[in-house]
Amino acid sequence: MKVSKFGGTSVASAEQIKKVASIVQSDPTRKFIVVSAPGKRFDSDKKVTDLLIDLATVALNNMEVETQLQLVLDRYKEIAKGLGLEQPICDVIEEDLRQRVLIDKSDKEFFIDNIKASGEDNNAKLISTYFTSIGLPAQYVSPKTAGLVVNNYPERALALPEAYENLSKLNDINEIVVFPGFFGFTADGLLRTFDRGGSDITGSILAAAVHASLYENFTDVDSVFCANPRVVNDPMEIEEITYREMRELSYAGFSVFHDEALMPVYKAGIPVCIKNTNNPSATGTKIVSIRKGKHRPITGISADSGFSILYVSKYLMNREIGFGRKLLQILEEENISYEHTPSGLDDISVIFRSHQLTTENETRIIKRVKEELHAEDVHFRHEFSMIVLVGEGMNNNTGLAARAATAISRTGANIEMINQGSSEVSLSFGVHRSNENKILQELYKEFFAAVTVG
Amino acid sequence: MKVSKFGGTSVASAEQIKKVASIVQSDPTRKFIVVSAPGKRFDSDKKVTDLLIDLATVALNNMEVETQLQLVLDRYKEIAKGLGLEQPICDVIEEDLRQRVLIDKSDKEFFIDNIKASGEDNNAKLISTYFTSIGLPAQYVSPKTAGLVVNNYPERALALPEAYENLSKLNDINEIVVFPGFFGFTADGLLRTFDRGGSDITGSILAAAVHASLYENFTDVDSVFCANPRVVNDPMEIEEITYREMRELSYAGFSVFHDEALMPVYKAGIPVCIKNTNNPSATGTKIVSIRKGKHRPITGISADSGFSILYVSKYLMNREIGFGRKLLQILEEENISYEHTPSGLDDISVIFRSHQLTTENETRIIKRVKEELHAEDVHFRHEFSMIVLVGEGMNNNTGLAARAATAISRTGANIEMINQGSSEVSLSFGVHRSNENKILQELYKEFFAAVTVG
């Protein structure tokens, strides 16, 4: 039995929800359906979640909420009308939303979260009503009654172990279960939302809890591409990819899957399939633990900008046991998480995402490293991009790093950093941001477009 | 004014010491002469230092010392005879050595150090006597009377700040100062020796203390080669090299200079020249702070074996702030110093010298990393070599990493690790030990033997 999650664009309109219904209908093992809030119908459209944030904002400012509330309700009403549903479901949604607006506003975060989560919650109610109306017996299940218990960590909640046990009981339901993504409840009954990509997380938790044979993730692309189609012209599709590869790719620029979302299914050993609601017959991309057979050395290439480098040098640094550890400790105390730490004998660089820096902590870090570690040179460099080549077993491919570095040098760009570990699925290059796109294009040419496969 | 240090082979025999005298005579600015103990005269010869260790060993075992003592004295007597010196200097040396053997043996380390240090000490007395005898007024100066004060750290003593002030007064001596290398004295008057390459350290300290214009280091090669001549056929000589380059090279396989020895002159900004006692007219290799002019991108290539890799993987590792720091903390607590830490998202490798590992700490480290960091996979890999390409400004050389990686791939060897930092003078490759020599040869061919210079 499968857990199928449908993203925002897959449930953005009546037309899209009809596609979802036909997908669910076509495979009786699709028993658990996780839904997002209605997404954009066209490029300039506003997602329901954004409309809800507007609503929360005016409510928090004690302004008149009616206009914003109607904008949200209009979306659901339009969908309900398109699906041929009667008024009652719209009344349920309106009643729910009006109740949420009345919640105590002293905890602003909690108030916003509650309004936002209504997007998924009410969509699940609407979709289960529609399924039943077309002879597909379905039941809306609330994360609260189902026991999706999370810790009390606003906007980045994590499911507690008992959530899995509670959710496993959903197997007893005969109807199709329609479950809203994005949120759970603390043991005290407080609503808490997941991190970015939250509906993917819900689907993954549910798949692990009910021991699904497959976790399907429906989106609006046929598959995951081996490189960003906005930079590389018509890139190849990835048919099968391992968790590790997917994670390396999703981390540095691949936005298909939020990396945390894979954790529950990864631990449970459940394969994932990314499919297209608009073209369900396409094979999609399968995420597995172990990939069989021989493949090209590189599965995908990602690129992400927004990196900074902290450079520290001190003569005889390597003779000081603990230097690197102390440096990382300072960064830890400044709450900065880092990516790589390439080092020479007398220098060490720490590469991390620039958004963690402020003028204040930048100055403070330089001061601390100079004073506490007696470093001679300490400075930051900004505007770097990381290009990551990902592939299982790439490490045993003689000459792969040479091919990659040679391809980069053909663009005339300088390689600022290379990081290749001892047994990895990835090879990273730090380059100046201005060179990112041309390098990605050249690497794609080298590893995918060329006739010879290494 | 210059400080000139002469190594073991430069002062191994009367014939060699005559060369030293003529070198000193040829340049009146050579005012401070630092000498080692007499080294090997031929390949199968024994250095005086080794004869002294034998002497100390029999003395510590309360055995008859006469045979070993005579072997040491014979070397000095032969030198004295060859230099046409009278008996008195030999008596001074014999008297000194007999006194050292009588020192209290309860502190074995101290006893051995004292015997060993006599090699340099007595050679300095002998050489100053010889200089004076040929009309080169010279004075033996003891590190004790000169105030070369060190901390109380057996076999790895470090000069204290007051040592520099004390030694600066040697500038008042009109004669040539002949100073023994390798040892100093604690504030309590205890003799303590320096680390490996100890006479180089003495020379460097002295050069910094007397504000020398140049620190000359006389050895038995014309210059430093850009690659190991035992592996690469007839490698190029390096004319000028920066401190940073020298240090990177000397660390990984270049044995010309002990890296710690450069510290005092580096701090004082005094250039160093490595010259050949047997061919003093050769230019030698100059070590400077900043190298002028345009040079080939690579100054030297070193290779060193004996590295191990600790590999640690854990899903979502990069989400845990402090993971890397905690791992390094465990290694620090196990007293292991590391070289590099290449990392992926979910794995990190720590590369360090294998000699620090024992079966016990290897097992303990694996256990601790698994238990304390909840890592999924933790294992050691051994038999690695590090190949290090060194050159100032190599970072701005587009395509250099590509050239190096391509050269390595031509040998058919796999690259296990690449480490290139953000602003470094070095680029390191981790390879299996069995591939070390062929890679060094191929890299030499690429960067030095080829007609094209990048």
What is the interface pTM, i.e. ipTM, of the complex? 0.73
CA distance A55 to A68: 5
Phi first, then psi, for residue A190 (nearest 5°) are -85, 135
CA of A310 to nearest chain B CA: how many angstroms apart?
A: 9
Q: Chains A, B: CB contacts under 8 A, how many?
A: 202
Give the residue ranges of DSSP H helices in A40-180: 48-60, 66-82, 87-101, 108-133, 143-146, 161-168
Homologous superfamily (CATH) of B2-220 is Acetylglutamate kinase-like (3.40.1160.10)
CA of A166 to nearest chain B CA: how many angstroms apart?
A: 25
CA distance A426 to A406: 17
Nearest CA in chain B to A249: B345
3-class secondary-structure state, position A367: helix
> What does the pLDDT read at residue A115?
96
Contacting residues for B311 by C-beta, under 8 A, at least 6 apart:
A421, A422, A423, B347, B349, B377, B378, B379, B380, B381
Q: Select the residue of B311, B315, B425 nearest A263 (Cβ to Cβ).
A: B315
CB contact under 8 A, B318 and A341: no
Look at residues B248, B339, B342 and name the one whose alpha carbon lies nearest to residue B302.
Answer: B248
Note the pLDDT tens digit of each residue in A128-187: 999 999 999 999 999 999 999 999 887 788 899 999 999 999 999 999 999 999 999 999
Burial class (CB in 10 A: 0-12, 13-18, 19+), B284: buried
CB contact under 8 A, A332 and B351: no
CB contact under 8 A, A260 and B316: yes
A398 contacts in B (CB within 8 Å)?
409, 412-415
Look at residues A222, A221, A218, A148 and name the one whose alpha carbon lies nearest to residue A190.
Answer: A148
Q: Select the residue of A329, A349, A421 nearest B342 (Cβ to Cβ).
A: A421
The answer on pLDDT for A399 being more than 90 is: no
Confidence of residue A39 (pLDDT cuts 50, 70, 90): very high
A328 contacts in B (CB within 8 Å)?
322, 324-325, 328
CA distance B85 to A240: 85
DSSP letters spanning A250-299: HHTT--SS-GGGGHHHHHHT--EEEEETT-TTS--EEEESS--S---S-S
Confidence of residue A315 (pLDDT cuts 50, 70, 90): confident
> What does the pLDDT read at residue B454?
42
Note the pLDDT tens digit of each residue in B352-381: 999 999 999 999 999 999 999 999 999 999
Note the pLDDT tens digit of each residue in B233-244: 989 999 999 888
Q: What angle do CA B184, B186, B188 make, to 5 degrees?
A: 140
Q: Select the residue of B315, B406, B428 nearest A266 (Cβ to Cβ).
A: B315
Record the tokens describing residue A32, joined without a space.
């658990």
CA distance A5 to A206: 10
Record the tokens describing residue B434, joined without a space.
């069995």
A266 contacts in B (CB within 8 Å)?
315
Q: Select the residue of B267, B344, B401 nearest A426 (Cβ to Cβ).
A: B344
CA of B420 to nearest chain A CA: how many angstroms apart?
A: 5
How are beta strands B272-276 and B285-288 bridged, if at all? antiparallel
Look at residues A41, A44, A33 and name the one whose alpha carbon lies nearest to residue A8.
Answer: A41
3-class secondary-structure state, position B41: coil
CA distance A315 to A317: 5
From the candidates B343, B378, B383, B438, which should be mutated to test the interface with A, based on the most A CB atoms within 10 A? B343
- Low-confidence stretches of chain B (pLDDT beneath 50): 452-454
Q: Select the residue of A335, A409, A423 nearest B347 (Cβ to Cβ).
A: A423
CB contact under 8 A, A324 and B335: no
Domain boundaries, chain A: 2-220, 300-449
Give chain A's mean pLDDT.
91
CB contact under 8 A, B332 and A340: no
For tokens 């160093």, the residue is B272
DSSP-derived secondary structure letter, A79 = H
Q: Select the residue of A263, A401, A430 nearest B418 (Cβ to Cβ).
A: A401
Burial class (CB in 10 A: 0-12, 13-18, 19+), A26: exposed
Note the pLDDT tens digit of each residue in A444-454: 999 998 654 44
> What does the pLDDT read at residue A256?
65
From the candidates A420, A432, A438, A439, which should be mutated to test the interface with B, based on the most B CB atoms within 10 A? A420
> What does the pLDDT read at residue B9?
94
Long-range contacts of A429-432 (CB under 8 A, 24+ apart): A429/A386, A429/A387, A429/A388, A429/A389, A429/A404, A429/A405, A430/A307, A430/A309, A430/A340, A430/A351, A430/A384, A430/A385, A430/A386, A430/B422, A431/A384, A431/A385, A431/A386, A431/A387, A432/A383, A432/A384, A432/A385
Contacting residues for A352 by C-beta, under 8 A, at least 6 apart:
A307, A308, A310, A331, A336, A337, A338, A339
CA distance B322 to A330: 10
CA distance A10 to A17: 7
> What does the pLDDT read at residue B421?
66
> What does the pLDDT read at residue A253?
61
B412 contacts in A (CB within 8 Å)?
398
DSSP letters spanning A220-261: SSSSEESS-TTTSSSPPEESEEEHHHHHHHHHTT--SS-GGG
CB contact under 8 A, A402 and B399: no
CATH of A300-449, one of 3.40.220.10, 3.40.190.10, 1.10.357.10, 3.30.2130.10: 3.30.2130.10
The answer on pLDDT for A53 being more than 70 is: yes
> What does the pLDDT read at residue A453?
45
CB contact under 8 A, B342 and A402: no
CB contact under 8 A, B318 and A335: no
DSSP-derived secondary structure letter, B235 = P
B413 contacts in A (CB within 8 Å)?
398
